[in-house]
Amino acid sequence: MRLERLLQSQGFGSRKTCRLRIEAGDVRVNGALCRDPLAEFDTAGLTFEIDGETWTYAEHVYLALNKPAGFECTHQPQHHRSVYTLLPPPLIRRGVQSVGRLDADTTGLLLFSDDGRFIHAMASPKRRVAKHYRATLKHAFDDALPKRLLTGVLLTGEPAPLAALAARQIDAHTLALSIDQGKYHQVKRMVAAAGNRVEALHRAGFGALSLEDGSLPAIAPGDCCHLDEKHLALLGYCR
């Protein structure tokens, strides 16, 4: 692939912008300075350096973000900052999108990619990928709460009750809950229908990936990491 096209595909601007940066000596490929925009490179395992940062060529990118509270999962936020401001600008320019959304006040694991097939596979209701949450409750834990959630609660506008995959008490005001649907405000609405109220919500895991069990690197709130083939396999996705 020609170097100017390669940089463009990785989110570093238009082809003209990339060409000018290459000619200005801003780009190293596999450790060597290259000023020829038309130089051809094999993309397999290729690394390049620009603005002092080293990148590895990727046809598609897959990311895990530890979302803090106070960010909206949209490019056009209404009341808070966009979650996309937490991502490196080249990844935004190449068009990464979140797999579903988390409410502005909800924290935890959020996936991103520019691979439309991956996004559809992870978000499709037919796939029923499990999402694992930790909910802080307003009222002290009621022993009957998990049973209600596992049996199913009827939410306004839904034709049938929705049941949790798993529900258990962590402490007097904390519930661990797993669901495989993705309805609007589902966890909060389910807990309310079961007789309590969610005061804070954290997504700890998505499928077999978790922020807490070592299946992902340690990610501080607001930071992200790239997912490799091992992580994609845990999600049941094959490129």
The residues assigned a catalytic role are 103
Amino acid at 59: E
CB 61 within 8 A of CB 91: yes
Closest alpha carbon to 128 in 73, 201, 168, 183: 183
State the number of CA atoms in the 13 A half-sphere of 133 facing the CB: 29
Structure tokens belonging to residue 84: 């996309």
Q: Find the helix or strand (DSSP H, E) in which 198 lies.
A: strand 198-206
Could you write out the DSSP letters of every residue in 64-92? EEEEPSSEESSSS-SSSEEGGGGS-HHHH
Tokens 């229908």 sit on residue: 193
CB 201 within 8 A of CB 187: yes
Tokens 């190293």 sit on residue: 28
What is the Rg, in whole angstroms, of the alpha carbon atoms belonging to the chain? Answer: 21
Whole-angstrom distance, CA of residue 167 vs CA of residue 175: 7
Structure tokens belonging to residue 184: 């609007």
